Every structure is written in C-alpha cells, then in structure tokens.
C-alpha cells in the first residue's frame, strides 16, 4: 500500500509539474531560459536578425514552446545578439525629450498587447501536461497493483476460513448449580 501511495505521489508531481521562464515569457529584448519537467531551453539567435524565444505554453503548468521572431520587426533598427533583440550602442541617436502632455483618466483598464506579438504567429494548442504513453503506463501499473492486492486479500480470507474449519472445537462444560 505504501508503494502505491508513493507511486501516485511521483505520478502527480510529473503531471502537475511547473514551467518557468526566467525572462517572463515572450520578452524579446532579454535573454532567458525556459525550464519544464521535460527540457531546459535557452533563447538564442539563428542569425543577426532572427531570434528563437522560448516561453511557457500555459501560465504555470505547461511546457516550453518556441517562437521565431525577426528583431527589426520587434524593435526598429535592432539586431539579434546573444539570445536577445537589441540596438547596438553606435546606432543610437539622441532624440529630443518630449514635453509632458496631460492625459485623460481612463474609465477602464486598457488591454495591453505585447509589442511584436500577433495571434497569427502560432497555432494555439491545448496544454498537455502528461504524455499519453506515461498516463497509460501509470494506469496499467495501478491496475496490476490493485489486482495483486485484491488477490492477496482473497487468499488470506480463504486460508482463514480453512484454518477455522479444521481447528479443534472446544467442548462446552455444564455448570453445576
């Protein structure tokens, strides 16, 4: 029984393992690494213009997925360097500081969309936290363990009934009154 509980605990830890991304997701200007129960991946450059960014497919439970991004499309005049999109220091031009303009107070929170992200870039897939073969193997192990446990209990009951049937019976004494 202890083995069964231990097996279930180990299985649950795999099924609900967390995914973490050091740069917080699709952040193209920061090199990061993505870690899930199956793999560890680091953002990298395919060439001077193309970045491969890893992110978690779910919010906390999921797996590392990759998206390719062209750096100049994300940040005007940027290039890919050491796993992040950035502007080289020699290409920076000082821009005049804009004067502050008063803005009206919004009545509702604006929807923030990450710069450079379009929904057409990838096909959205449901989060699969456990491969099918692993779930099937776990169910098979649980079935075998349950069968062996029930078989042992039935054998114990049968042995107990046989031993009681052949045990000598105690004679009843009559009381003298």
| Residue 72 domain flag | yes
Which among 24, 31, 23, 22 has a CA at the least distance from the CA of 84?
Answer: 31
Task: Report the alpha-carbon distance of residue 14 to residue 121 in Å, rounded.
Answer: 29
pLDDT tens sequence across 149-175: 888 888 888 887 777 777 766 666 666
Domain count, the chain: 2
Q: Give a yes or no: residue 95 inside a domain.
A: no
CA dist 74 and 115 (Å) reads: 7
Taking the complete model, does pTM exceed 0.75, yes or no? no
The answer to whether residue 32 sits within a structural domain is: yes
* Average pLDDT over every residue of 123-133: 59
Q: Give residue 149's domain range.
A: 131-164
Q: For helices 2-15 and 132-166, give the axis angle rounded to 10 degrees.
A: 170
Residues 89-110: what's their mean pLDDT? 62
């Amino acid at each position: 029984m202890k083995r069964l509980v231990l097996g279930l605990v180990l299985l649950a830890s795999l099924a609900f393992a967390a995914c973490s991304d050091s740069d917080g997701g699709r952040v193209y200007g920061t090199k990061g690494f993505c870690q899930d129960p199956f793999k560890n991946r680091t953002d990298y450059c395919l060439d001077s213009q193309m970045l491969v960014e890893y992110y978690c497919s779910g919010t906390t439970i999921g797996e590392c997925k990759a998206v390719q991004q062209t750096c100049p499309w994300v940040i005007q005049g940027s290039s890919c360097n050491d796993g992040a999109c950035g502007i080289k220091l020699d290409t920076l031009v000082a821009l005049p500081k804009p004067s502050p303009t008063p803005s009206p107070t919004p009545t509702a929170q604006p929807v923030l969309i990450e710069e450079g992200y379009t929904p057409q870039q990838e096909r959205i897939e449901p989060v699969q936290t456990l491969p099918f073969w692993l779930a099937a193997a776990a169910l098979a192990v649980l079935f075998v363990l349950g069968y062996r446990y029930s078989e042992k209990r039935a054998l114990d009951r049968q042995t107990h009934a046989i031993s009681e049937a052949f045990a000598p019976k105690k004679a009843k004494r009559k009381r003298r009154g």
